[in-house]
Structures are given as C-alpha cells and as structure tokens.
Chains A and B, each alone.
Chain A
Amino acid sequence: MKKILLIGGLGEIVRSLNECLVDDFQVQLCPAQVENVKAMEKIIRPSMFIYCKIGEEKNSAVMEWIRKNCAYIPVLIITAEQDWRENQKKYEQDPFPVLVRPLKKSELIETCYRLTGTERKPVNATGEGNAVSQQPKRKILLVDDSALILRCLKNMLEDYYMLRLAKSGEQALKMIEKETPDLILLDYEMEGIDGKTMFEMMRADDAMKNIPVVFLTSVADRKEIYSVLKSKPDGYILKPPDENRIRKTIEEVLSAGV
C-alpha cells in the first residue's frame, strides 16, 4: 500500500478525503505547516502528497518547501472552485495536477493511483472474482504484552487485515471502546488485566460480548489449556504462532461470525 501524506487543516474536507482514500492507501494527515511536513516527510516517506487548499488559506511556504526538497515526489493539489478560477494560471505553470472540489471518489482514487505509479487493482464494479479485495479489510485487535509477539503478528497479518494493537488489557479495552474490532486475538497470560479477566469482562458487557475472541496461549500445560477452553473462546492458538494456522483460525472464526 502506498503512503500518502495528506496536508491540510483538520476539517470536514480533509476528513472526507481521508475516508475516500483509506481503503486503497495509507493516508497520514499532516497540518499545513512547514515544520510538520518536513518531519512527516522524513518519517512517513510518502509516495505522494495531497495538498488540500481550503478557503482563503494561502500558505505557499509549504508548497515552496515541497517544490524545493521533494521535487521527485508527486503532488496532487485539491482546491476549491473559486480558488481554481482565481489562480488558474499559476497552477498551470506547475507540473502538479489539480483537482477541483467537489470531486468524485473514483476520480480521486484513479488520480492517486496514476501519480503513485501503481496499477489499480481490478475493480470490477460487478466483479465476483475478487471478493476479498473488494470487501473492506476486517479489523482485528491484537493484544499481547510482548512487543515481540505483537510485531511478529503484525508482520504476519497486516497484509490481510486492518490491525489494531494493544499491549495490555487496559489499552485493549480502550481501543475496543473507540472502535469495535471484528475479532480479538488475545494473549492469555498478561500482566495487569490478563486475557482471561479481559475475556470475562467483555462477555459481561453488552457492547462487547459479541466480539469473537481467539486466545493466544503458549501454556503447554494441559491444565491451563483446559481452563482456556472452559471459558469457551471462539478459538485458540498456541504460541509461537504459525502463520498459516493463525490465518486459518481467524478466517474460520470470522466466517462463523458472518
């Protein structure tokens, strides 16, 4: 997935742009300040910029900086019709494409693909072929107190799912409140709120009780496995996780939920 740095003030417009793009690109929002853009560029290393001009805002410093330092990165400028009319000439001097609001989602996405130099995945409006890619990615929350496992799982699964990570039960609960995941991969053994406690809390809460939970456990102790199974999770995986197995289990649980 290509990364796009979306530069613009935080507002309704930027948010709607973000929503349009989020399924196809990795979008990072960035305030329209040179400082911010400079840092973001360094860190995110985006494949393209989208510069969103809103209203009367005329901060050319950002554009100047981009032109000067990132000439090799394509820029898409989005502007309002009024602005476009006023500065048309100026824009035409630039090599950057300009899109004028209000714009169509497909147009925006296509332009982005063109600029980032990637083939758009065959989007067949009526296509049955690639059902998975058409469906929005399922959201999975990974909860484990070991950063190593979290990272490993993330590396394994990020191409297939939208991942959220939590390093503790508390953090996980916060995240669930913010955004309900389609499935939780939950470590059984954790400090603080451990997997079992968290699982019980979730099952007791009306809002969360229907989220499927798959336990991750490395306890090779028969007793512990029984106690995991007794709490009736939707699945369980023994650590260290095996990539194929973990995906198979996730798919099974997810499809059972549907």
Chain B
Amino acid sequence: MEKRQQAVISGVFAVLVILVFGYFIIGELTLPSDQGKTGGKTTAAVYAGSWERILPSGKRVKIKIPCKVSAARNETVVVETKLPDRIGTNHYLCFRSAKQDMRFFIDGKLRLDYSTKDTRLFGRMSAAAYLFLEVSEEDAGKVLRVESQTDSAYTGVCYTVYTGQQMGVWSYFFKRYGTELVVAFITFILSVIAIIGSLAVRFFYHKRVALEYLGWGILFAAVWLIANSAFRQLLFPNLSVINDIAFLMIMLLALPYLLYMNAIQKERYEIVYHVMEGLVILNFLVCTCLHVTRLCDFTDTIRSVSAFCILSIIVMAATILVDLIKGWIREYLFVAIGMFVVCIAAFIQIVIYFQKVNLFNGVILSIGLIFLLLFCTANTIGEIIEMDREKQQAIQASESKGRFLANMSHEIRTPIHAVLGMDAMILRESTEPQIRAYALDIQNAGQTLLALINDILDISKIESGKLEILPVTYDFSSLINDVVNMMEMKARDKDLEFLLSVDEQIPSRLFGDDVRIRQILVNLLSNAIKYTETGSVSLAVSYEPQGEMADLVFRVTDTGIGIRQEDMEKLFRAFERIEETRNRNIEGTGLGMSITLQLLQMMGTKLEVESVYGQGSVFSFHLLQKIENKEPVGNLEERMKNRVDAEKYQVLFTAPEAHILVVDDNSMNRRVFRNLLKSTCMQVEEAADGEQCLELVKSRNYDLIFLDHMMPGMDGIETLHAMREWEDYPCKNTPVIALTANAITGAREMYLKEGFSDFLSKPVRPEKMEKMIMQMLPPEKVHHGECLPQYTNEQQELPPLEGIDWEYAKLHCRDQKILQETISQFYEVIEKEAAQLANDLQAVCEAVTDEDRAQACRHYRIRVHAMKSSAAMIGAVPLSGMARMLEYAARDEKIGLLQAVTPQFLEDWRALRQILELVVSVSAVSEEEAQAFDAGLMRECLRLLKEAIAEMDIDTADAAASQLKQFAYPSEEMTEAVQQLNQAVCDLDEEQVIYWCDRLDHTK
C-alpha cells in the first residue's frame, strides 16, 4: 500500500519538474526580450583609438592592439594613444596586465601605477589583472601613455583595451567569460560532492574508493579555472596568491589522475604510475623552490609542467590501450570513456587557445571534466552496489552457517541418543565383564561427543545472539554438588586431588542462571584438570553480602602447566588453544573458554586469570546474585562426602500395573525407551505420531505419557493442545512429559507453559527418568524393590552377527529351530547363488543386441530377486536392501550400476559364509566317524535320492544326501562329487542332483 502511494507521489513530482523546467526553457527562448525596458543600460566597447609604440630610440611605430610587440625581456614598452575628443562621465579605459607592471600617464601626469611588488611574497612579476583607468571630460583629446614592464616572456604583450563605464565593462566580461566561471563553479561543487561521497563510503564500508582521487583531480582543475578566471580580482583580495594557486593547481593536477587510474586498473601498471607520480611531485617541488627563491618564476617553468601533464596523459592512454587489447577495459569501461571525452575536450581547448591569442577559456575542458566525473561516479556506484551485495552475501552466509550449526547439532543429537540409549541397555542387561567394558567406553565417547555438540550449539547461539541468561531461583548446594560430582570423578581418574572450600555463610537459595554458572564452573574445572598432570585442582567460593545481593567469588586453582603471559590473549579467542604443540594430546575444541568468557560477559562480570608459567593458574570471577533465602548453606564439604555414598544407592521400583504411552516418530527411540523401562515391568505402549497418540489416549487411560516434541506432522505441543481441547477423555488427568533433544535453557518453563507436566531431554538418563516416573505415577501403583530383568535365552543362542538382524529374521521365522535350519540351508547355497549371479552379470555385459540384454537383465533380476528374499529371510537386511537396489537397477537396465555394484554385493554375499559359520552347526565328518564305503549302499542311496528329488520329497532327499556324506570315499573325485551333490540337494536342483548322482554312480 505504502509503496503504491510512494509511486504515485513520485510520478506527480516528475510531472511537476518537467512542467516547471519546460516553462523556463521554452519561455526564455521564445518570448521577446525585456532587457531594453529596464533602463540604466551600461555599455562597453572595444577601444577603437589608434596606438603608437615609442621605441627606446624615440622612434614612433604604429601598432594594432591586441598584439605582441618585439621587445627585449625586462624592457619597458611604451605605447601612446590620443584619447577621443568626447568622453562621457564615469568613463573608464580597461587594460589587461599580462603579468606586467603598468603605469599610465595622461598628458605626462601619472594616473595609475599597477605593481604587486610590495604585496607579493614570491615571484618576480605581478599577477595578471584588469586595470581600470578613469578618464574624464577634461582628458578628452589628450595623449595617454602606457608603460609596461615585466621580467617574463610576456614582455611586449598588449591585450585589447575596452572602454565604457566600469560596470559596463564588467557586464561585458561577464557575458564573455561568465559561462566559464559558472561551469568552473559547477565543476568545483561536483568535485567536492564526489570527495565527500567517497569519504562517506570509506567511513561506512571501510574501503577506499578510487573516486576520491578523481574528486581531488577535478577539484584541482576547477580551482585552477576559477583562479585563472577573469573575475579573480573581484573574488580574491591578494592577486599574487591566487595567481600562485593557479600554478600550483596545474602542477599538482596530474597526480590525482595517476593515482586514480592506478587504482582503477587494479595496480597492474603500478611501477609506471609510481614513476610518473614521482616525476610530477619532483617537478612540483623544483618549480616551487625556483619560484620561492625568485630564481625562476612559475610562468617560466610552465613548459615543464605542461610536458609532465602531457606525459601523464600519454601514460594513461597507453595503459588504457593495453587494457583495451587485453580486454580488461571492461572493468572500467565508463572511466575509459570519460577519459576519452576529457582528452577530446582538452584537445579542442588547446586548438582554440592557439587559434586566438587570447585569454584562456576553460568551458569545454570543464564540461569534459564533468563528464569524466559522471562516468567515474557511475563506475564507482557500480562498485559500491557490488560491494553491498558481497556484504549481504557474507551476512547471509554467516546466518546460514549459524542455522546449519543449530540444525546439525539437533540432527546429530538424535542418533547419539539412540547410541547412548542402546548402550545404557547393554550396561543394564549384560553381565559379561568384557561387553560391559566396551559399553562403558561407548558411553564415555558418546558423552564426550554430546558435550562437544552442545559446545558448538552454544557458541552458535552466542554468536547469533540467541543465547540468553535466564535467572531462576536455585539451590546453591545442589549447584556445587552437581559440579563436584561431575568433576571429582575426572580428577580422581587422573590421580589429582580435588579440593573444595565453600564459605559456610553463603545463602542457601539464590536467584540466577544456575545452568550457565554450572557450565562455567565445569568448563573451568575440566580445563584445569585437563592441563594438570600432578597435584591438585581446587574450587573455592567465598562470599560477601551486599544488601539484597550476594557477591560470590568463584576461584578455580590448579597446579598445572600455567599460561605464558604472551598466550593470555589467545586464551580468550574462540577455537584457539594455547601451546598447540605441547598440548596436542589434550582433547577439546578450544570453544570452552570462549563460551565461558561470553557467558560471564552476559552475566555482567569477567574472568580474571593469574598464572605462573609452569606452576599453575588461578581463574576467578565475581558474581552478583540476588538472595532468595538467607539461611546459610553450611559446611558443604562435609555434606558432600556423606552424599557421595548415599548417591550410590539406586532407587529401583516396579509398577507392573502402570500403563505408559511413549510417542516418538523414531522407532529406535521408542525401542530405547521400552528397554530402559523393562526393569520396571511397566506396560509400555508406543505411538509413532501425534494422530496415533490422540487415537490411543481416547481409547484408554494411561498413567503417564511421554510425548516427543519434534515430530513430523503434528508435533508434541500441537498434539497436547489438541488433546487438552477435548472435554472428556480417559487421559484427562494424565501427566504428559515432553521429550526433546533440544534442551535449551528455559525449555522447562516453556514446556510447563505449554501444559506439559515436565520435560526430559534426550538422550534420556535412566535415573532421571525413573525418578520422574516415580513422582508422576499414582503411588499405589509403585512397588519398591527390584524386578530382575529377564534375560532372553534366544540372544545367547544366536550371537549378534555383523549385518544380520535376528529380530527381523524372527519376525518371519518365529521358531528358533526353523530359523536355524533356514540359516544352515542358506549357508549351503551361498557360493552357488553367488556364482550364478556372477554368470548372469557376465551375460548382461556380453549381451550384444538389445533383446539379448533385456533377456539377460531379466535373468539377472530374477536371480537377484531370489537372493533378496533369501537374505531377508535370515535377517541380512543390509544385503537384502542392496539386492533390492540391484533388482531395480536390472529392471531399469542400468547396466553401469549393475557392473559397479554387483562385485561388492557378491563380496558381501560371500562374506556371509564366514559370518554365518558361527551359527551354522557344520557337521563335518571326521575321519574316524566316516563309514566304510559301501558301493551297494551308495547306489541304493543314489537311487532313492533321485526318486525323492523327482517327487520333491525333501526329507528323504536330505536324509539320503546326509547318508552319502558319511561315507569315506575311495577317491578325491567322488568326495568332490558328493559335495556338489549335497549342494544341489540343498538347492533342490533336480537336474544337478541327477547329474551328480549319475557321475557318482559311474565313477569307480
């Protein structure tokens, strides 16, 4: 809406502007002039009298003005004219001094003497100026003598003489040179704007813009034009100074352009430019020195200045030409065009200058410069836009990095939850010391990983400003208790003494963010323990009451390696670690300290470090906390010792009548939950999403519901809200506990506000969960005492094998015996199937025509399809999945994929043989057991086998085959044949069975 209004107003504005300016231009051009009506018209004209030069010899020569008479340098040139017979009042003759000292005599009387001898600091000649000689009626017809003298090349220059009233002459000049002045002023203003703009950009973007140089360049040109203009004597009091300024400007002029071009061309021709710049500066210094010392005036050195200017232009043109050839010109096309325009303007200007021996007029050059400035500004604006875009991109990249980190840590936490949960199950259920040891290792590594991810999450939150300090009322003793519990173990593991000293007067309840304080203390203490090899680590808390507040000083002291003074600064930087080489074996991301510092900063305090290198360090910080309960905390150290023993006692309970509902989209999580609760004998039901949960709570009463927050579709909070909207349902009063992997500070409050009874962070800690369940369950359903976990004997029968999911296998083959048999049979045919698939693959590869290939693919597909089913049957789920992929690939005739994956598949497939060996009871017949070979009996067996296989009487066939296996055959060949036969029987391959039977029958 606002945008539209803005657009409408802009449109109206544009129309108004066009109307006003249109009226201005058209009106002034077409309507008749009013100038004749205003009266008081001042006039001026070129003086038309004839002039004579009086040579030093006294000879008179007629001359025409303007001209340059030939005279020796420094010679006084004398010219005379007879004034007109009639002269009006307030009449002037206007001469121009070309750096000459001039004296005017009428009738032998000195009327005007112009010289800046006594007002100038430097230089040997007077500045050029317009001189007004007042003539009255009395002077009519008298002789005017003009003497001019200068120590310069201007000796003998006589400019046009104007006559008229003073104002008239000026207005005449204004008409002639006014444009020049106005254009010069405009140029000046634009250049100032360019300079200010560039400085602003420099200030806001911290980047120098090349336009600044150009601004200076144009400023110099503008000042030069103004200082050289006809009106300078009206604008500036001291003519010599402004004259000098004009020269100084022109001498400096080349410098900013060189700097600008060098920057624009990305310093490709740095050396050339620097040399050029050096020369210009040198020239400037030399000329100035000469001028100041009056050895040589600016006017005389102007040639060298011009030479350097031209040289600079040539250098720039050359570099632009090179860039044009190499194509780099695209980077600064606008600038090049601008430069070109200026060159043309300058050229035209010079031509005009030489054609009319007259005053210098800089209009065209000024316009050229304005063009240059505009083009360069366009170029610079383009650069600024680009810069702005880059800045935006950088900001965006940083933001998405933060988001990525936050998401990642959530994504990583979920699987870790599963790992730790499963591990907790192992620790609970397994009695094997070896396995428990492994599981403990997993737990440690998992906890470390989790801590790491939490660190990363914290730092990304701090960086994005999302982390907040959330003060709550907390129990000081439990804070210390938690920290000590966590840290004492670590210290003990490293054989370090852990000392605790807490002021007994500290109030028991305080108001502050205990989670973050805990984090800070844990960080400091674990750092201290990490970097200490021998000695002790201590935590001391002292206290000073300050009215309503408690001023606590936490002090963590260690006897570790200490910190060098020069490393102190590093300590406070993220990801930096001190003495990287020495401490390589110490794990950590280097984030801990950074987080600690930032947290302390957010709490309005800071960390103080004292350290003696090699002896140890003391980290301390003050903390102001509001007192909630003044009762002193008492002797914590004593209490802690007693507590340690009490903690070891674990509360165990059973609640067989209790019904619990677990809602989580991740089946693994649900399984972990179910297993963790196994020992409580509770009845656990599961729901995979919010909808399912709603169905279930409608149907019956649960004593407790665990509801995952993050779920696809309806999330936990939505589910709870939906539930609470109902008027009446069986679970109306059931406590609902939120499960979340995103345990941020303030989560508890948030969940309570949303209507949950409490929340549990994943990975779930069994003790915490059990305590919570105990609190939430109706007391009559809770029985204290242990319910022994039931060990399932199946697990002992089938050892866990890599790549095989017994649970899955059992889903289909409930009977252990059948499964075992199936596995044995599978085991027998592994090699055969593999060989056949390899053949099929070869056929696929060798197929020439499309038809052949389709056929071969079909064969391959059917084979791999069968293998897929077989693998699934015994629970080799990954392999089955691979087979499925191959099946689809074969269906779509993706030959490349088949070729690439089949070998790996076959390798894995064959590897099953080794894996399954553990569970297959291989009834290898030892030599002693083998029965004596009985040809008759064998033949009978073979006959029976053939019959049985024809009828697909598997039992008989198997029996016959196993009987055949038991003979001690006289030849290797027969043993081999029997093995083949056995495999064929296993595979129920009639053709092969008959073939090998016949072979056996006929071998002797």
Does A32 make an interface contact (CB < 8 A)? no
The residue in chain A whose Cβ has the minimal distance to the Cβ of B891 is: A221
- In the complex, whether A242 has a CB less than 8 A from a CB of chain B is yes
Task: Let me know if A155 and B952 touch, CB within 8 A.
Answer: no
Beyond A45-B959, A150-B988, 17 additional contacts (C-beta under 8 Å) are A35-B937, A39-B944, A42-B963, A147-B829, A147-B988, A155-B815, A155-B818, A165-B952, A167-B952, A167-B989, A167-B990, A175-B952, A191-B859, A219-B865, A240-B869, A241-B812, A243-B812
Q: What is the CA–CA distance of A196 and B873 in the complex, to the nearest angstrom?
A: 23
Please tell me if A131 contacts chain B, counting CB pairs below 8 Å. no
Q: Which residue of B lies closest to A172 (CB)?
A: B952
Residues on the B chain within 8 Å of A149, using CB: 866, 869-870, 873
Given the complex of chains A and B, what is the CA–CA distance between A227 and B880 in angstroms? Answer: 23
CB distance from B863 to the nearest CB of A (A): 8
Please tell me if the beta carbons of B868 and A147 are within 8 angstroms of each other in the complex: no
Q: Please report which residues of chain A, range 1-54, place their CB below 8 angstroms from some CB of chain B when the two chains form the complex.
A: 28, 35-36, 38-40, 42-45
30 contacts between A and B (CB under 8 A): A35-B936, A38-B937, A43-B960, A45-B959, A146-B870, A147-B825, A147-B829, A151-B825, A151-B954, A152-B818, A156-B813, A156-B815, A165-B954, A165-B988, A167-B989, A171-B952, A171-B990, A189-B865, A218-B868, A218-B869, A219-B865, A221-B888, A239-B869, A240-B813, A240-B869, A240-B873, A241-B812, A243-B814, A243-B818, A244-B814
Q: Residue on B with the closest CB to A189?
A: B865
List B809-844 residues whose CB lies under 8 Å from chain A: 811-815, 817-818, 821-822, 825-826, 829
A residues 141-168 near B (Cβ < 8 Å) are 145-152, 154-156, 164-167
Given the known interface contacts A42-B937, A147-B987, the answer about A218 and B862 at a Cβ–Cβ threshold of 8 Å is: no
By a beta-carbon cutoff of 8 Å, the part of chain B in contact with chain A is 811-815, 817-818, 821-822, 825-826, 829, 859, 862-863, 865-866, 868-870, 872-873, 884, 888, 936-937, 940-941, 944, 952, 954, 956, 959-960, 963, 986-990
Any B CB within 8 A of the CB of A176 = no
Given contacts A42-B937, A147-B988, contact A154 B954 (CB under 8 A): yes
Interface contact B956-A28, CB-CB below 8 Å: yes
Residue on B nearest A194 in the bound complex, by CB: B862
Q: Is A99 among interface residues, defined by CB-CB distance under 8 A?
A: no
B818 touches A146 (CB 8 A): no
| A-B pairs, 10 with minimum CB distance | A39-B940, A165-B952, A147-B988, A240-B812, A43-B959, A240-B873, A147-B987, A155-B818, A146-B866, A148-B870
* Residues on B with beta carbons closer than 8 Å to the beta carbon of A244: 814
Residue pair A35, B988 in contact (C-beta under 8 Å): no
Q: In this complex, which of A36, A40, A147 has the most chain B Cβ atoms within 10 angstroms of its Cβ?
A: A147
Q: Please give the residue numbers on chain A whose beta carbons come within 8 Å of chain B beta carbons, in ascending order.
A: 28, 35-36, 38-40, 42-45, 145-152, 154-156, 164-167, 171, 175, 189-191, 194, 218-221, 239-244
**Closest B residue to A152 using CB positions:** B822
Query: Which of A39, A164, A190 has most B Cβ within 10 Å?
Result: A39
Does A164 lie within 8 Å of B940, measured CB to CB?
no
A49 to chain B, nearest CB (A): 16
Q: Contact at A40–B862, with CB atoms within 8 Å?
A: no
B988 adjacent to A152 (CB under 8 Å)? no
Query: Contacts of B888 on A, CB cut-off 8 Å?
Result: 221
Residues of A within 8 A of B865 (CB): 189, 218-219
A215 to chain B, nearest CB (A): 13
- A26's nearest neighbour on chain B, judged by CB, is B955
Residues in chain A near residue B866, CB distance under 8 A: 145-146, 149, 189
Q: For residue A165, which residue of chain B has the nearest CB?
A: B952
Decide if A148 touches B825 in the complex (CB within 8 Å): yes
**Chain A residues near B940 (CB-CB < 8 A):** 35-36, 38-40
Residues in B whose Cβ lies below 8 Å from that of A36: 940
Query: Are B869 and A39 in contact, CB atoms less than 8 angstroms apart?
Result: no
Residue on A with the closest CB to B888? Answer: A221
B959, A44: Cβ atoms closer than 8 Å: yes
For B941, give its contact among A39, A148, A240 (CB under 8 Å). Answer: A39
**Contact pick for A218, options B863, B872, B989, CB 8 Å:** B872
Q: How far is the CA of A222 from the CA of B648 in the complex (A)?
A: 55
Residue with the greatest number of chain A CB neighbours at <10 A, chosen from B813, B865, B868: B865
Known: A35-B937, A42-B963, A156-B818. A148 touches B884 (CB 8 A): no
Q: What residue of chain A has the Cβ atom nearest to residue B872's Cβ? A: A240
Q: Contact at A43–B884, with CB atoms within 8 Å? A: no
Asked if residues A155 and B822 are in contact (CB atoms below 8 Å), the reply is yes
Chain A hits for B821, CB < 8 A? 151-152, 155
Contacts of A155 in B (CB 8 A): 815, 817-818, 821-822
CA distance A35 to B936 in the complex (A): 7
A242 touches B812 (CB 8 A): yes
A8 nearest CB across to chain B (Å): 17
Measured in the bound complex, the distance between the Cα atoms of B868 and A240 in whole Å is 9
Q: Complex Cα distance A146/B880, Å?
A: 15
A148: contacting residue among B826, B956, B963, CB under 8 A: B826
Nearest chain A residue, comparing its CB with the CB of B814: A243
Chain A CB within 10 Å, residue with most, of B825, B866, B941: B866
The answer to whether B941 and A43 have CB atoms under 8 Å apart is yes
B residues near A150, Cβ cutoff 8 Å: 954, 988
Interfacial chain B residues near A194, Cβ < 8 Å: 862
Within the complex, what minimum Cβ distance (angstroms) separates A30 from chain B?
9
Query: Please, which residues of chain B bring their CB within 8 A of the CB of A44?
Result: 956, 959
Write out the residue numbers on chain B whose beta carbons fall within 8 Å of the beta carbon of A221.
888
For B814, B872, B954, which residue has the most chain A Cβ atoms within 10 angstroms?
B954
C-alpha gap A38/B938 in the complex (Å): 10
Query: Which chain A residue shows the least CB distance to B987?
Result: A147
- Closest Cβ of chain A: how far from B711's Cβ, in Å? 25
Q: Contact at B936–A43, with CB atoms within 8 Å? A: no
Which listed residue (A40, A154, A156, A218) contacts B944, Cβ 8 A?
A40
Task: Name the B residues within 8 Å of A167 (CB-CB).
Answer: 952, 988-990
CB distance from B675 to the nearest CB of A (A): 23
Query: Complex Cα distance A12/B812, Å?
Result: 44
Contacts of B959 on A, CB cut-off 8 Å? 43-45
Q: Which of A166, A220, A240 has its CB near the most chain B CB atoms (within 10 A)?
A: A240
CB distance from A193 to the nearest CB of B (A): 12
- In the assembled complex, the Cα of A241 lies from the Cα of B825 at a distance in Å of 16
